[in-house]
Amino acid sequence: MKETSCSGWRPGAWLWGILAGTALQLHQASLWPGAYYAACALLGAAASLLLACWRKPARWPDRACCCLAAAALAFGLAGLRAANQAQTALSPALEGVDLQVEGVVVAMPLPVTGGQRFRLKTERAWREGAPVGVPPLMDLSWYRADHRAFARIAPEQPASAEHALPLLQAGQRWRLPLRLRAPHGSLNPHGFDYEMWMWEQGVQATGYVRHGKPQEPVLLASQQGHGVERLRQHVRDAMVQQLAPPGQPQAAQQARIAGVLVALVTGEQRAIDREDWRVFRITGVAHLMAISGLHITLFAWVAAAMIGFGWRCSPRLCLWLPATRVALWGGVVCAGLYAVFSGWGIPAQRTVLMLVVVAALASSGRQWPWYMRWLLACVCVVLAQPMALLQAGFWLSFLAVGILFASDRGIDRRSPAAPEPGPAVRGLRRLRMAVVQLLREQWVVTLAITPLSLLLFGQVSVVGFLANLLAIPWVTWVVTPLALLGVLVPALWEAAAWALHPLMAVLQWLARWPHAALWLAAAPAWAGLAAIVGGVWLVLPWPWRLRLLGLPCLLPALWWQPLRPLPGQFALWALDVGQGQAVLVQTARHTLLYDAGPLYGPGSNAGDRVVVPTLQALGARGLDSGRLDLLVLSHAHVDHSGGAQAVLEQLRPLGLLGSLLPHERRRLGLASAPWRDCQAGQAWSWDGVRFSVLYPLAEDAGPVPGSGSGPRTDSGNAYSCVLRIEAAVWGGHAAVALLPGDIERAQERDMLRHHAASPGLLKADLMLAPHHGSNTSSTRLLLEAVGPRWAVAQTGYRNRFGHPALPVQRRYQEMQIALRNTVDCGAAYWRSDQPQALACERQQRPRYWHHGVASANSPEGGPGINKTNQPLIPDEG
């Protein structure tokens, strides 16, 4: 087929340029003025039009110019979108103040412990009667007046009639008294970027509904559009009521089954229990347990087959429009409707757009090769959603589709001389070929996608092939159809739950296998790309001797180990866990974790969400090599010990050290762990690095230090385990880090008095700010005795305690001690062989969507200090 002037080399170069330009814009640390992006887009569009009319034969400069023109166009378009969105950000002056906001609930609310969460599309807002501008979309929480958002230990009590909340529904218009803040999340090495996720959703503010104010919430209207969301909410509530009615035996297990089915029908992934998500991740079937591209594509295929069958039954309709075209577009329309009902999430939008592009190409009659159709679908998705390039689902979906196309060998055909078999033989042969094709596709996708999964998640599911082999057909052809048909015939939800039970049992059994999943250290980009190339190489339709050349490409990523400190030196990560503490210390061959981060709420803690993923990415995997050697819990408060159980279960530390009492260890699930009480005078050496415990003192094992009270009943701040870490001499200096936990004035005074004979013992280059920079700690005497170059305060954004306190910040400033706060620093990294430098994760990988809070906690004041006692809603939910 002869190519026209608009085909051949130009489309390929232009499409690759679009991807390159978008990727370049997404890596900007800060945004340019909108006019610059507009000029870039206009220049790229004009150059693209000129090159489209170019009639001369293709040469490499022509291809390069076409690629550059497309890159300029895509860079400008993505930048314009980002600049427009940035203009709707929440003003810092409106953070933490009382506002009246009027808007419409635009999404299905989510019930949570003690309240509910919902998304509001704002219409107008006032502050003290004066109109103000707020972001168009915000995520809000509405808790009962008697609910303590941070009462993480006390069990939730039933709501009284006077404190019961109204039933929120999509489409309701409310006037609400709110307190807002900008989306702010933790930023750690190889960790989840919450602020990027919120930016992609278009949400520029979070907050909560206020109680006890003169302006009470007012319902202004009940049904203001959003009928699909109301239908989704009705279906979800009906499913939960039927499958897991409260007060029934085994209600917890039924609720978990109901949560999975709700996710399959309505796309509400938050309904799935966190433990079930863990099982799905280990077994590699997480992509099946929520509405994904696979479900929508399958739905389109089934709908197209049914529409085509029905259309062919009428010769008159076939004469009017071909059945194949009607079936093609009918399937796309049905997929779009299904995606809308499932919540019209970002992955669903990508899938529908891809189906539209493929259907349009098929209808146009253009005979493009598969890789051009694949590339065009990628580009259309990226133009509509530039942030898709940063999403794991985008790469996993398109790589899987591309691999299936590239590795297709065609169907083996019988020899023309062979006799025609009978109907029974033909049926068995078709069944055999279908089974073989299913096994082959599953094997090809698993082999090719595993290196990409390793690069994106640092995890390889050993049982993933077997689990997917069982789960894909069962979920796709049994569970999901029954759950969807239950919308019309609710009794079928019971059948879907019955069908899901055995699958869940098998998946839980597989997840309990030894080494069911392997977590590998995060490899650098070059090693990950080499592994992806190797995985693709192994499945291409080439001779097996040639395909084996892909194996060496896998080795760097599979065997990669991050660089450890030299013998005698250590590295320290002060992780960004919000209002809490978790510090990772690595020597040449050992790893120590000081505290495990806070408990965020029921079923959510820093251990699961921050500490364990970070340690696994840095090489601590819970296996014989790279194991966590020691977990130190400074004291029992939940902002330090909330993630301890998750760390214990997933990383299996060799030992635990701390000041917790037996009943506190039982409450945290640590009763059976090897435990040592923390006491001054304990010391040990690892790889030439000396670790010493400076506090609590031996004589303070009974009453609270400095109080003269009776025997202690808990291990609060006064019993914090103070750890000193000293490196070997390097460059004429032995660097020291001091981790003082939450000690306060009395304990600082006792420690100084006890070690007065050895004043040099307290000297340090880096110190964690005691008690997160509270005004009860960091006395001038302690700072003079320690004399650190750096101090790090691990705090939460706009925390209700006001940490670090302004007087404390001024004290550090007056004594010329550089104080870094994880709010504006992210995770802080410090090395004993370079004590003069401290690296901040937010400065190491800045992006324009990251929340700028450099002045929020400055000594001069600012919006970051929140002195109210109102409950703060965890950023990441």
Rounded Cα distance, 198 and 876, in Å: 10
What is the dihedral sign for C-alpha 838, 842, 845, 848?
Answer: negative
Per-residue model confidence as pLDDT tens digits over 387-428: 989 988 888 878 877 787 777 655 444 444 455 666 666 667
Look at 431 and 133; give whichever has higher pLDDT. Answer: 133
What is the dihedral sign for C-alpha 228, 231, 235, 237?
Answer: positive
Mean pLDDT across 378-389:
90
Q: What residues have CB less than 8 Å from 653, skipping those under 6 apart?
A: 593, 627, 628, 629, 630, 631, 647, 673
Residue 856 has pLDDT above 60, yes or no: no
Paired sense of beta strands 137-143 and 828-831, if any: unpaired
Mean pLDDT across 160-174:
81
Q: What is the pLDDT of residue 831?
A: 97
- Least confident piece of the model among 77-91, 208-222, 379-393: 208-222
What's the one-letter identity of residue 404?
A: L
Q: What is the pLDDT of residue 738?
A: 97
Query: How buried is residue 766: exposed, middle or buried, by Cβ count under 10 Å (0-12/13-18/19+)?
Result: buried
Q: What is the pLDDT of residue 289?
A: 78
The DSSP secondary structure of 204-237, one letter per residue, reads --EEEE--SSSS--EEEES--S-HHHHHHHHHHH
Q: Which residues of 513-532 are buried (b: 16+ CB within 10 A; e: fewer)?
A: eeebbebbbbbeeebbbbbb
Q: Which residues sit opposite 130 in a β-bridge?
A: 127
**Residue 10 parent element (H or E):** helix 9-26
Per-residue tokens: 283: 């077994």
Helices (H) and strands (E) in the chain, counts: 30, 27
Q: Is the peptide bond before 421 cis (omega within 30 degrees of 0)?
A: no
Query: How buried is residue 61: exposed, middle or buried, by Cβ count under 10 Å (0-12/13-18/19+)?
Result: exposed
Residue 165's SS3 state is coil
Q: Which residues of 217-250 are buried (b: 16+ CB within 10 A; e: fewer)?
A: beeeeeebebebbbebbebbeebbeebbeeeeee
Q: What is the pLDDT of residue 100?
A: 95
Q: How confident is the model at residue 576 (pLDDT cuts 50, 70, 90)?
A: very high
Q: How confident is the model at residue 440 (pLDDT cuts 50, 70, 90)?
A: confident
Mean pLDDT across 236-246:
89
Residue 153 has pLDDT above 50, yes or no: no
Please state the pTM of the whole predicted model. 0.87
Q: How confident is the model at residue 6 (pLDDT cuts 50, 70, 90)?
A: very low
Residue 875 has pLDDT above 50, yes or no: no
If one counts every other C-beta atom within 10 angstroms of the C-beta of residue 672, the result is 9
Single out the residue of 163, 277, 270 nearest to residue 211, CA to CA: 163
Q: What is the pLDDT of residue 866?
A: 33
Per-residue tokens: 604: 């959510």
CA 141 to chain centre: 20
Mean pLDDT, rounded, of the chain: 85
Per-residue model confidence as pLDDT tens digits over 821-851: 999 999 999 999 999 999 999 999 899 999 9
Single out the residue of 586, 813, 841 nearest to residue 689, CA to CA: 586
Q: How confident is the model at residue 365 (pLDDT cuts 50, 70, 90)?
A: confident
Residue 410 gets which letter from DSSP? Answer: -
Rounded Cα distance, 354 and 376, in Å: 9
Contact between 825 and 841 under an 8 Å Cβ cutoff? The reply is yes
**Total number of residues shown for the chain:** 877
Contact between 387 and 381 under an 8 Å Cβ cutoff? The reply is no
Per-residue model confidence as pLDDT tens digits over 179-192: 999 999 999 999 99
Q: What is the pLDDT of residue 420?
A: 60
Q: What is the pLDDT of residue 433?
A: 77
Per-residue tokens: 202: 């278009």
Residue 624 has pLDDT above 60, yes or no: no
Rounded Cα distance, 402 and 349, in Å: 19
Q: What is the pLDDT of residue 855?
A: 43
Q: What is the pLDDT of residue 840?
A: 96
Of 203-212, 700-709, 720-729, 861-870, give the range with the top mean pLDDT: 720-729
Rounded Cα distance, 712 and 714, in Å: 6
Q: What is the pLDDT of residue 162?
A: 53
Rounded Cα distance, 808 and 817, in Å: 11
Q: Which residues of 821-832 are buried (b: 16+ CB within 10 A; e: fewer)?
A: bbbbbbbbbbbb
DSSP H helical ranges for 216-369: 227-243, 251-266, 274-283, 293-312, 315-320, 323-341, 346-364
Residue 870 has pLDDT above 90, yes or no: no
Q: What is the pLDDT of residue 151?
A: 46
Q: What are phi and psi of 305, to 5 degrees?
A: -65, -40
Of 46-50, 468-472, 715-719, give the range with the top mean pLDDT: 46-50
Q: Is the peptide bond before 804 cis (omega within 30 degrees of 0)?
A: yes
Dihedral-angle region of residue 722 (phi above 0 means left; psi in -120 to 50 means alpha; beta otherwise): beta
Residue 607 has pLDDT above 90, yes or no: yes
Q: What is the pLDDT of residue 438?
A: 67
Q: How confident is the model at residue 867 (pLDDT cuts 50, 70, 90)?
A: very low
Residue 507 has pLDDT above 50, yes or no: yes
What's the one-letter identity of residue 856?
A: A
What is the Cβ-side half-sphere exposure of residue 148, based on CA atoms within 13 angstroms? 9
Q: What is the pLDDT of residue 316?
A: 84
Q: What is the pLDDT of residue 1?
A: 39
CA 373 to chain centre: 31
Q: How confident is the model at residue 604 (pLDDT cuts 50, 70, 90)?
A: confident
Per-residue tokens: 82: 């980002």
Rounded Cα distance, 230 and 223, in Å: 9
